[in-house]
Amino acid sequence: MKRINPNIKPFEKKVWLSSPTMHGPELEYMSQAFHTNWMSTVGENINKIEHLIAEKIGCKYAVALATGTAALHLALKLTGIKPGDRVFCSDLTFNATVNPVKYEGGEVVFIDTEYETWNMDPVALEKAFQLYPDVKVVVVAHLYGTPAKIDEIRVVCNKHNAVIVEDAAESLGATYKGKETGSFGKYNCISFVEDSNLDRLILC
């Protein structure tokens, strides 16, 4: 296969975005779930992680789901969007951030990225509201663990009575002005690792 630019050489080794690691009694917990027949959507371990993560993030509730897309889909359903509704979304993110909008029949309107964080630009968001003043849902993603400019985005959303859905799947443990990401929106989604089961939660 020809390279488009012969001056660009491939990396000598892969740079992994997120590789799973095991650091303790994970196998023990998996065996416990297996032997007690709690291999589905309920069980002591799931109840405990929901409680612990809500406590860590600083939210009232947490619900464990199978995938980040499922968490975002539930969040979008909770906002009450209807077919044909426009939803503002970060433009530099994974497709899981916007797929649930389409599942609900909504129309994705991408908001440009700003230079400092590579996340949603509050200035572009304000301009988008001038074009589409009826939008009531904004999905903000924190890319690569870097929080978006939440204060500025919240000012814009509050001005236009729009709900924030926070896609914090890539930023568990990151803080913005001393507060954990995953706690700024009306509905928030976090993730422990990429491509594993039962690792996503929606936080309210």
Per the model's pLDDT, the better-predicted residue between 88 and 93 turns out to be 88
Identify the band that residue 184 occupies on the pLDDT scale cut at 50, 70 and 90: very high
3-state secondary structure 71-130: HHHHHHHHHCCCCCCEEEEECCCCHHHCHHHHHCCCEEEEECECCCCCCECHHHHHHHHH
Q: Which sequence spans correspond to the domains of the chain?
A: 41-203
Identify the band that residue 116 occupies on the pLDDT scale cut at 50, 70 and 90: very high
Q: What is the pLDDT of residue 33?
A: 82
Q: What is the pLDDT of residue 196?
A: 40
CA torsion sign for 191, 105, 185, 176 is positive
Residue 145 has pLDDT above 50, yes or no: yes
What is the value of pTM for the model shown? Answer: 0.83
For the 41-203 domain, the top CATH level (class) is alpha beta
Q: What is the pLDDT of residue 202?
A: 55
- Backbone torsion region of residue 20, taken as left when φ is above 0, otherwise alpha when ψ lies between -120 and 50, otherwise beta: beta
Average pLDDT over residues 22-44: 80
